[in-house]
Each structure stands twice: as structure tokens, then as C-alpha cells.
Structure 1
């Protein structure tokens, strides 16, 4: 059963997450105001669904029986709103025209002893692996939908809010770093085909198509339904893999599936997404950073006078004990 103190801390973290979403929205408005970009097709399923989920979640929160679905729906609303803002922000950022870093990232791979062309040719020589690569790359949808449902409906509200916070922060960091260190991707750098009879690098298409047009100024009308993932360094797929494992690790029977699915996604990301290996390393590092930030902020919230006054005597000073985890958060 969810304790009163845990619920209060989760609610305060939720307010912080809404502030992050509002910050993303303000950044997007500022970006549109100081550039020549325009947004088109604003009435989309995602744009309509996010506020509907938020309204439903707030309504359910007032019902004694609706707390768990409420936290789930509000998490979906926060993440959906963040993505809606982040997608056009990534396009605006990459239009800044900073020098492309493809050759530098390829060199970093070589210094680490990682041979991307050899990895590509191995995959092409073993076509039975390509279907698995596409499957695992698509697993980014699992944490987006599965984590809020599992954590929300099992009453792990604090970990749910930490996950949402870490994911939004990771997306912001990835956009900022990609703006400063843009890259088109491995297929561009090595001159290898991304679309063949046996394989199409679906995750790479947006980068190859849109980044050149962003840089030369020919793409300025952004349709929300047509925006793709164009961020190369760091890899958000890689960041999501670590976020997914961390967020659900307390559920022991999910650990094998978590490790298999996310390890597969990390292996498939360079091939399907046209990422350098250093993109994957950087993505995991970003996730580790934002996880730690979310935990530190949780500790600050838990140590506030409001939380301290409601902690049990068995908890360490300044730490919140989550009964779902049996340890301090």
C-alpha cells in the first residue's frame, strides 16, 4: 500500500516535472520567435491526446479508487508533451549550422578499436540478423508505454516520477549536445548504402533527409506529423535503454527481459540508426547523469521540512524510504 509520505513526495516531483515540460514549451516558443521556423499541422493525435490524458488524470486523482491510473495517465501526458516540444526543438537546434562532427566521431570509434564498416558488412553478410536488429531498435517504444503503466499501476509513484524526470532531462541534454556537435551519421561518413534490397536503416532516414535541408535553410516549415528522430550524438535510443533497465529493476522477474531487450537495442542502434559507437556510449552516459540528477532532486525534496516531519523513525535523516524498493531513494 502506498504511504502518505511517498504520495506527497511523488506529487511534489510531479510538479517539478510539469515545470520541466513548461520549460520545454517556452524554449520552443522562443526558438520559433527568433528564427524563421513555422509549425504546421498542430492538430495531431499526440497534441490532442496529451492534454486529454492530463485532464483525465487530474479527474481520477480526486477519486479514491483512481490514484494509480491517474499517476499513469499524468506520466503519459508529461512525456507526450515533452516529446511534442522536443521534436521541433531538435530541428531548430540543428539549423544552427555548427560544424559537422562525423569525421571526428568516426576517428573516436577507431581510437576505441571499434570498426563500424566491419560491423555493417558483418550484418549484411548475415541477413537473418537484420530482422532482429529492426525488432530490437523498435524496443524504444517499450519504456515509453510500459514503464508508466507498470510503475503507475503497481504504486511505485516516486520511481515513476524519477523516470519521467530523467527521460525529459536526457532528451534536453541530447538536443543541446547535438546542436553543438551535429552529425549526419555513419552511412554518410563511410559512403555505405542505408537502403538495400535486404535492409533499410529506418532510423537513419530522417537524418540523411532533413539535416542537409536544415543546414542550408530550405527546411523551415515543420509539420509535427513528419518530424523524425534526427539526433545522432548522443544516442537517445542508448539513453532510453539504460533508463528502462534502471526504472524497472526493482521488479525482479522483469530483469531478464529488460536485459535482453535493451542489450539488443544497444547492439542494433548503430546499424538501424546510423549511429557511431561513441553515440551509444555518450547516450548511456547521459542517462546515467540524468538518473543521478533525478535521485539527487528526490533526496532534496524528501529532506524538506514537509517530508522530514512525516518520515518514519526508521528512515535515515534526509532520505526517503520507498517500501517498493526497501531502500532509500
Structure 2
């Protein structure tokens, strides 16, 4: 892939640049390779179960991918690096979401014994007492709304981070953030295939104000994947089913790091992401250990992404006085 890199804090002008400058930078390649690996993993994982895609409901996803691909092409070939960087990031994250969710479905379809009892026991050993937490939270509707909106705003956070980083010319941070998100997401999906779980379920009918968690609403989906009754993919209704580790927590932690590159947004952005992490056990239906493990995955994912996407030093070219 071809891209234009600029200093993180410098001024960037949309001026034509030699084609060789586009071809010299391959720092987006790791993210593309990770997306390809996820697609291949899905194809391998679903061989025994044979998932199909509802063609009509695939149209919105296809149109979105085409629009992002078109924006990327326009940005690259019209020397508009901010447009290219933003479109590339959205395209990579959209493909990651599609392949990641269907890979999680394929792994859930062939997963073994549920780990809920072990994860619940780990929560008790750590000291999480969810009945007490839920009862206290149910008495504070404003806090429920605050945390609930924060949890369900993770996609909005991603949009804000991508638009802000690309608009400010923070291309290195944007590239690292996207790579870290895809890498950690891939890892969480693979781990979840070995540790399947329905989630930290609670019946919302027992409470006055609490909302149903995502895990509560996904019970039928997970059961259908496990018993073989669900094999047609509706790309307009894909739901994340990973319990352990919590990718919601991992991605929010990565956003906390990314917001640090934007001083004016760092305070509110990080507070927003922290609220999302706090809300994840209740509104995502996660165990506490899911969230802790998700948070532990974020730092190594960022470090690995930084190394994968760092600029490679060009090989020295022979000068006029040196032998070729």
C-alpha cells in the first residue's frame, strides 16, 4: 500500500509528491496482513459448519466498503493524505469488524464446554460481588444512563479518534492505534474460542432501572451457533460474542492511549473511555476477569503495533563515487 507520512506535529500541505515516496512506505502492511489472516482463519474454521451469507443483507456492508475504498483511492492519487489516512483506517477497521465477528461465530460453533462456572469462580476469588453492585446501581438511574451510553458509544469513540487523528495529521499514532486494535481483537477472538462463555448474565426483570446487557440479549445467538441452527450470516446484525477477554475493555484502553496524542481531547476523551471500561461488566454482561484480561492485553498490543508499523530505514543507495 502507498501512503504519505508526515511529522506528527508539523503542517501538511496537499501538494503532489513523487510516486516513489508513496511506494517507499509499507507501514500499513501489518494491518492488512492481520485482516487477511482473520479472513483465512474464518474460512478454515467454518469448513465443517459451512456458514452462508444473506446476499441482500450484505449489500450495505459492500456499499460501505466500496465507498471507503473510493475515498482511499481519491486521497492517495490526489495527494490528500488526511483523507487517505482516515479512509484507510475506517476501511481496515470495517474489514476487521466483519471478519472478526464471523470468525468468532465460526469458533463458537465448534467450541466445547462453557467456561462460565470457572470465570464466575475467578470473579469471586478476586472479590467481585455482582449482585451487590447491580442492586446499588439499580438505585441510581442517572448513573445507569451515563454508564450505559458510555458502553454503547465505543463505535462513536472510534470514529472520533480516527477523524481527529487523521485531521490533525497524527498519522503514526493513527496507524499504530488501528494495528493495535486489529492485533488485540484477533488475539481475543482466538482466546475466546478456547474459553467460550455465555457471559455474566443477570435477569433485568429483577431490577427496576437496569438495562438488559448485551450478553443477556445474545443468549439465543450463542445457543444457535452451538447447536447448529444458525448458519446464515446477516451482515447488518452482527453482534460481538467474545466474553473472555473483553475486547470492549481492550479497545477502550487503546483509545485512552490514542487520545494522549491530542492534548485538547486528551482529558475528555480519556474520561469517556474510562467510563466505557467501568460500564463494560454490567452493560456488556462481562465477568470482572474478562475486563481485567482485556486491559492487560492493551499495552503489549500497542508496543507490538508500534514496532510493526515503525518506519524502516531505507537501504543506502550507491553514490557517484561508490561502486554499484
TM-score category, normalised to shorter length? 0.7 to 0.9
The correspondence for 2:59, drawn from 36, 44, 50, is 44
Question: What whole-Å deviation, never above 9, does each CA across 1:178-208 have from its counterpart, x for those lacking one?
Answer: 1100111111xxxx31355533224224432
Q: Name the structure 2 match of 1:153.
A: 167
Take 1:241 and 1:225, find their aligned partners in 2: how far apart are those partners? Answer: 23
- For 1:33 and 1:108, the matched residues in 2 are separated by 34
Give 1:131-142 correspondences, 5 Å limit: 131-142=145-156
For 2:177 and 2:316, the matched residues in 1 are separated by 26
Partner of 2:211, secondary structure, is coil
Structure 2: distance between partners of 1:55 and 1:31: 31
Preserved contact between residue 243 and residue 291 of structure 1 (Cα < 8 Å): yes
Please give the TM-score of this superposition, normalised by the length of structure 1: 0.84
Separation in 2, partners of 1:235, 1:221: 25
**TM-score computed with the length of structure 2 as normaliser:** 0.85
- Distance change (3 Å), C-alpha of 1:194 and 1:38: farther
Partner of 2:265: 254
Aligned partners of 2:218 and 2:241 also within 8 Å: yes
| Whole-Å separation in 2 of the counterparts to 1:113 and 1:17 | 38
Query: CA separation in 1, counterparts of 2:102 and 2:183?
Result: 16
Cα distance in structure 2, aligned partners of 1:62 and 1:229: 36
Return the structure number with greater helix share.
Answer: 1
Residue 35 (structure 2) pairs with residue 21 (structure 1): yes
CA contact (8 A) 2:75 2:83 kept: yes
Find the counterpart in structure 2 of residue 164 from structure 1. 178
1:194 corresponds, among 204, 218, 222, to 204
Q: How big is the shift at 1:8?
A: 6.6
1:79 and 2:83 matched: no
Deviations 1:139-189 (A, max 9, x none): 2123321111111111111111111111111111111111100111111xx
Q: Describe how 1:1-329 pairs up with structure 2 within 5 A.
A: 2-3=6-7, 11-41=25-55, 43-64=58-79, 66-187=80-201, 192-195=202-205, 198-299=209-310, 302=311, 304-306=312-314
Structure 1 Cα separation of the partners of residues 285 and 179 of structure 2:
27
**Distance of 1:9 and 1:130 partners within structure 2:** 50
* Distance of 2:87 and 2:289 partners within structure 1: 35
Aligned residues: 299
Equivalent in the alignment of 2:14: none
**CA, structure 1 residues 92+206, in 2 after alignment: closer, same or farther (shift >3 Å)?**
farther
CA RMSD of aligned residues (A): 2.3
Instruction: Please state whether the residue corresponding to 2:112 is helix, strand or coil.
Output: coil
Q: Identify unmatched segments of 5+ residues in structure 1.
A: 311-329
Q: Distance in 1 between matches of 2:136 and 2:74?
A: 53
> Aligned partners of 1:163, 1:153: CA distance in 2, in Å?
15
Query: 1:216, CA displacement in angstroms?
Result: 1.7
Structure 1 range deviating more: 40-49 or 264-273: 40-49
TM-superposition CA deviations, 1:49-88 (whole Å, max 9, x none): 1232123212221213x11111101111111011111111
Decide which moves more: 197-206 or 257-266: 197-206
Q: Retained in 1: the 8 A contact 2:38–2:99?
A: yes
In structure 2, what is the Cα distance between the partners aligned to 1:78 and 1:288? 21
Secondary structure of the residue aligned to 1:12 is coil
